Amino acid sequence: ETGVTQSPTHLIKTRGQQVTLRCSSQSGHNTVSWYQQALGQGPQFIFQYYREEENGRGNFPPRFSGLQFPNYSSELNVNALELDDSALYLCASSLGGGIRTDTQYFGPGTRLTVL
């Protein structure tokens, strides 16, 4: 069974640029959630995709957008990067379309640095 993978591991961008982060879900999982972990904080929910549709969104601006593909892999896109977007971005897959008791299985994260 393959776990959740993310790419790239690290990324450096400059303010105003756009970035795409990728996530491959655990086999058989149809739900993916994205989280942002800023320094010194716990991960914050960005949004969730279930069967290729956005299934809920946290308190993040529209320049954070996502996609989920038929194979349930996912992308997080961030436009017009700001310095505060520097963080670790985690994706997590689960089976169940957002049930509160479902275990979410996390990838190792992508470290984004915005200069």
Partner 1 sequence: ILNVEQSPQSLHVQEGDSTNFTCSFPSSNFYALHWYRWETAKSPEALFVMTLNGDEKKKGRISATLNTKEGYSYLYIKGSQPEDSATYLCALGSGNTGKLIFGQGTTLQVKP
In the complex, minimum distance from the CB of residue 105 to partner 1, in angstroms, rounded to a whole number = 7
* Nearer to partner 1 (CB atom), residue 75 or residue 105: 105
Using the minimum distance from each CB to partner 1, give the nearer residue, 14 or 103.
Answer: 103
Q: Considering the complex, what minimum distance in angstroms separates the CB of residue 43 from partner 1?
A: 5
Shortest spacing between CB 107 and partner 1, in angstroms: 6
Give me the residues that bind partner 1 (CB under 8 A), please.
Answer: 3-4, 33, 35, 40-45, 48, 55-56, 58, 90, 92, 94, 96, 98-109
- Please calculate the CA angle 26-55-53 and round it to the nearest 5 degrees: 75
Minimum distance, C-beta of residue 103 to partner 1, in the bound complex (Å): 5
Q: 40 vs 62, which CB is nearer to partner 1?
A: 40
Beta-carbon contacts of 89 under 8 Å, excluding residues fewer than 6 positions away, are 6, 21, 34, 35, 36, 37, 76, 109, 110, 111, 112
Contact at 8 Å (CB) between 31 and 97? yes
